[in-house]
C-alpha cells in the first residue's frame, strides 16, 4: 500500500488533537451547567443516538481525509506492447579518449551525445559494451532508459587495464550480445576515435551486416589531433609519451570508421564541439523498421480513493438522517 499525497494524512493528527481538546472542554462545561432548560432538552434527546450520530460524523471525516490522501492499494496487471530495435553502443574507454580536442574530453562528449540519443528512444532496447585493449559487457539489453543512462555516466577510461583500441574485439563482443530471435532490427553503434590495432574490423562488419546487424560508427575527435593528458582527480600532471619519450598525438581516424560503416550498411557520424552531433543517429534509428517485442505485463499500484470516499459519504448521510429524539413511551 502506498499514498499519492501522504502529507494529507497529517490532517488526521490535527483532527484527533482538536477532537481531544473539544471532548475535554465539553466535559468541563457539562459539569458546570445544571439548569432547568438543559434538563428539558436532555429529556427529549436520546444520549445513545446522539453519541452514534457524533461518531458517524467523526468516522465520515476520517474516511474523507484518507480518500484525499490518495491511497494506492494492490497491483494492476496491464499488457504492454512495444515496437523498436535492439541498440547496442560499443564505447571506447582507451586512454586516448581523455584527449581534450573535443570539450570537455572525447569520452565525456561522447557520453553526453549517447545520453541524448537514449533520452529520445521510444520502445527500443539499449545495451552497452566497453572496450579498450579488450571488450566487455557492461549493460545487457534493457528497456529501462534511466538505468542505461546511469550505467553510461559510470563509464571512465580506467575501467579496462589493458590499453589499446581493439575495434575487432569490440565488434565481436557486441555482435554476440544481440539475441538470435530475429535477423533484423539490430543496430550496433561503435563510438571511438578510430585507432585500430588489429585490422579485422572491415571483415567482421561485413559478416555482421549479413546477419542483419546495421553497424554505425561515431568518430570522436579532431583531424588535427590532441595530446593525451595523464593525471589524477581531474588535475593534469603530464601528457602521455611513447617509449622514446616523445609526446603522443592522438588523431581521429575517419577513414577506418567510414569503411566500417560502409561494410556494415550503416552511417558514419563525427562528434565534435558542435551541439546535437548525435541527432543524425537518432533520425536514422527512427527511420528503421521496428519490430514488435513480445507483450508483457507489469504491475503497479491502483488508485483506491473511491472506496474511502464512498464510505465517507455513506457515514455522512447516516449521521445526517439519524434521529436523536427519544421514542414516546406508551402510557
Grid cell of 178 as nine digits: 544481440
Share of the chain above pLDDT 70, in %: 81
pLDDT given for residue 259 in this prediction: 93
Question: How far, in Å, are 111, 154, 304 from residue 104 at the CA level?
Answer: 11, 16, 50
Q: Grid cell 588489429 — which residue?
A: 198
Cell of 57: 460524523
Can you give the residue ranges of every domain in the chain? 2-70+304-321, 80-294
User: How much is the pLDDT for 39?
Assistant: 55
Query: How confident is the model over 57-103, as pLDDT tens digits?
Result: 888 888 888 888 888 776 666 666 667 888 999 999 998 899 988 88
Report the pLDDT value the prediction gives residue 205, as an integer from 0 to 100. 93
The count of other CB atoms within 10 Å of the CB of residue 205 is 26
State the pTM of this model: 0.64
CATH superfamily of the domain spanning 80-294: von Willebrand factor, type A domain (3.40.50.410)
Q: Does the pLDDT at position 36 exceed 60? A: no
More confident residue, 249 or 42: 249
On the question of pLDDT at 265 being above 90, the answer is: yes
Q: Is the confidence at residue 328, as pLDDT, over 70? A: no
- Residue 330's pLDDT band, with cuts at 50, 70 and 90, is very low
Q: What grid cell was written down for 118?
A: 537514449
Q: Hey, which residues does 230 pair with through a beta bridge?
A: 238
Which is nearest to 277 in space by CA: 264, 289, 268, 290? 268
Question: Does 196 score more than 70 pLDDT?
Answer: no
User: What would the mean pLDDT of 272-300 be, rounded to a whole number?
Assistant: 69
Distances 153 to 7, 23, 190 between C-alpha atoms, Å:
34, 59, 17
SS (H, E, C) the chain: CEECCHHHHHHHHHHHHHHHHHHHHHHHHHHHCCCHHHHHHHHHECHHHHHHHHHHHHHHHHHHHHHHCCEEEEEEEEEEEEEECEEEEEEECCHHHHCCCCCCCHHHHHHHHHHHHHHHCCCCEEEEEEECCCEEEEEEEECCHHHHHHHHHCCCCCCCCCCCCCHHHHHHHHHHHCCCCCCCCEEEEEEECCCCCCCCHHHHHHHHHHCCEEEEEEEECCCCCEECEEEECCEEEEECECCCCCECEECCCHHHHHHHHHHCCCCEEEECCCCCCCHHHHHHHHHCCCEEEEEEEEEEEEECHHHHHHHHHHHHHHHHHCCCECCCCCC
Q: Quick one: pLDDT at residue 274?
A: 76
Residue 29 pLDDT: 60
Residues 137/173, Cβ–Cβ less than 8 Å: yes
Query: How do residues 229-249 score in pLDDT, each as one tens digit?
Result: 887 666 677 878 877 888 888
Amino acid at each position: 500500500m502506498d499514498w499519492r499525497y501522504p502529507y494529507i494524512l497529517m490532517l488526521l493528527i490535527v483532527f484527533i488533537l482538536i477532537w481531544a481538546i473539544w471532548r475535554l472542554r465539553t466535559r468541563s462545561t457539562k459539569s458546570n451547567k445544571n439548569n432547568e432548560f438543559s434538563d428539558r432538552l436532555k429529556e427529549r434527546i436520546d444520549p445513545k443516538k446522539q453519541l452514534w450520530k457524533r461518531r458517524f460524523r467523526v468516522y465520515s471525516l476520517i474516511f474523507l481525509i484518507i480518500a484525499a490522501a490518495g491511497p494506492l492499494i494492490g497491483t494492476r496487471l496491464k499488457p504492454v506492447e512495444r515496437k523498436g530495435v535492439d541498440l547496442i553502443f560499443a564505447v571506447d574507454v582507451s586512454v586516448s579518449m581523455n584527449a581534450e580536442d573535443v570539450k570537455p574530453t572525447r569520452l565525456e562528449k561522447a557520453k553526453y551525445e549517447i545520453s541524448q540519443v537514449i533520452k529520445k528512444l521510444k520502445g527500443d532496447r539499449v545495451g552497452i559494451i566497453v572496450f579498450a585493449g579488450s571488450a566487455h559487457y557492461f549493460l545487457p539489453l534493457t528497456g529501462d532508459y534511466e538505468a542505461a543512462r546511469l550505467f553510461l555516466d559510470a563509464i571512465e577510461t580506467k575501467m579496462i587495464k589493458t590499453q589499446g583500441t581493439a575495434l575487432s574485439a569490440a565488434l565481436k563482443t557486441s555482435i554476440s550480445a544481440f539475441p538470435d530471435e530475429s535477423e533484423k532490427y539490430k543496430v550496433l553503434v561503435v563510438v571511438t576515435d578510430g585507432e585500430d590495432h588489429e585490422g579485422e574490423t572491415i571483415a567482421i562488419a561485413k559478416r555482421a551486416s549479413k546477419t542483419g546487424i546495421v553497424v554505425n560508427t561515431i568518430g570522436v575527435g579532431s583531424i588535427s589531433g590532441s595530446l593525451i593528458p595523464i593525471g589524477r582527480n581531474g588535475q593534469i600532471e603530464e601528457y602521455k609519451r611513447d617509449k622514446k619519450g616523445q609526446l603522443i598525438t592522438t588523431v581521429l581516424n575517419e577513414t577506418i570508421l567510414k569503411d566500417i560503416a560502409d561494410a556494415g550498411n550503416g552511417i558514419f557520424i563525427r562528434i565534435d564541439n558542435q551541439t546535437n552531433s548525435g541527432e543524425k543517429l537518432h533520425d536514422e534509428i527512427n527511420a528503421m523498421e521496428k519490430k514488435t517485442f513480445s507483450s508483457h505485463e507489469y504491475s503497479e499500484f491502483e488508485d483506491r480513493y473511491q472506496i474511502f470516499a464512498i464510505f465517507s459519504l455513506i457515514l455522512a448521510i447516516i449521521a445526517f438522517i439519524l434521529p436523536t429524539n427519544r421514542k414516546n413511551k406508551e402510557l
